[in-house]
Chains A and B, each alone.
Chain A
Amino acid sequence: MQQAHGAQGDPLTLNADLVGRTYPPTAPYVVGREKVREFASAIGDANPAYTDVAAAQALGYSDVIAPPTFAFVVSYAGTALAAADPDLGLDYSRVVHGEQRFAYTRPIVAGDALVAKATIEAIRAVAGNDILTTRVDLETEDGDPVVSTVTVIVARGTAEEDS
């Protein structure tokens, strides 16, 4: 963004007009049983609900369920839509993950086809860092809510100087 770069007394380099902007739903992410098993294995989590269909069914689910933070794997495509919005002006090369929140209507289940709907919730500048808060709602293709996620990303140092 040209308008605010280096401007004295205006540390906000991101375009605050984008607060409230929503993005079109992503193409459906189809949750695969083997992907869930791979993810559970990668985090070392042996809970049988993630790998054993019978164990998951004994808990009342139709198939294996995904570990709670698997939702981020799906929601990230929505976050990226916002973060890469050319109108925003975020220097993506300097971004770190500041905060993450999940609110579950139900666990993600193998076989789900999930769309991610992103909204920019907040844009701030704190101590020289640009901070972007994006909410991404994961829903079935029929619009049933599954999990709502909030991702806060921090672009280090971008609000005090531009290289």
Chain B
Amino acid sequence: MVDEVSKKPVVPVQKKRVSRRVFLTDSARGAGVALIVGTGLWSKAKIAHPIPFREIRPPGALPEEDFLGRCIRCGLCVRSCPYDTLRLSKVEEPGVVGTPFFKAREVPCEMCEDIPCVAACPTGALDKGLTDIEKSRMGLAVLSDQETCLNFLGLRCEVCYRVCPVMDKAITLERSQNQRTGNHAMFIPTVHSDHCTGCGKCERSCVLTDAAINVLPIALVKGEMGKHYRLGWVEKEKKGSPLVPSIMNKPLGQWGKDK
């Protein structure tokens, strides 16, 4: 009887104490492991992922931060692409593993009118609001090497201009004088960001061994003037008359040609 009385309270209580301590230390260890892994992942994401500059996102891709929060790396966009343009980033490639991209020099985007890759995306990482492929901004073509571009050398290549799906808008040929010969014209391929979709056909078609025109992520190449800038001539056009009328009333000097 004494045994039963003394055993019953002692044994379970002792057991409980031990198991609680074990439980707490185990939990602390588990939490520790998880926190180490979490911190590691956090810093890896902060450090190791600048914008991959040769890996262009599919049409309609949200800005990179949003894209990486939505893309579940399923590859349905890749499978929907009729031209096998898109691929998923592998572990050893610079992009975030499992996310879709294309390399313009290898296979550019053919700009399908029905944009199947956007339709295939189950999570909206590719924005379904994009219905006109010419409004897509996958990247921006940049004529990055004026020293090797044949048109800059005064020749008439302009393949980039001719293959551009948004012809005469995204790339125009701007005429200038060939300073070397003195009597020829140069036709300078000039990219306009308000029309360039970043499809990469220009880069793909550039006849050089290494393309002189390259599609790069917009965030990497596009400048930002700053909200405080005012362009005098634009403002003047908006107003319909000179901004500061008195300037026009100044007395004409001896060199004034205006009559």
* A and B pair up: no
